[in-house]
Amino acid sequence: AAQDILAQDKIRIIARRPVSTGFKLSGSASGAMINERVRPLLHVDKNGQIVDASCTCAFFTKHKLTKGPCEHILALRLAHMHRLEQENT
């Protein structure tokens, strides 16, 4: 699902801030409902591993990270990793 969000260009990196441990990211993504926008927030370490995350979607609101990150958090991470690859080539 996260790959689909990225492939369909339904995720945007709004802010990307380097921190000593990696990056803090905020994004905007298409939600499950028509015209719904959700706001994933993500802190990843230098290896791209999730340190902390949140999202305004229903899945995250219900489960937090107990069932793993939602597709929007994962799509934001994928978009970030893709951008890092582009910057390093």
Nearest Cα residue to 81 out of 35, 44, 56, 52: 44
Instruction: Indicate the domain borders of the chain.
Output: 2-87
pLDDT tens by residue, 23-69: 999 999 998 888 999 999 999 999 999 999 999 999 999 999 999 99
The predicted structure's pLDDT at residue 88: 87
The predicted structure's pLDDT at residue 32: 84
Nearest Cα residue to 43 out of 64, 18, 78: 18
The 10 Å Cβ neighbour count of residue 64 is: 13
* Angstrom distance (rounded) from CA 35 to CA 27: 16
* Angstrom distance (rounded) from CA 24 to CA 35: 26
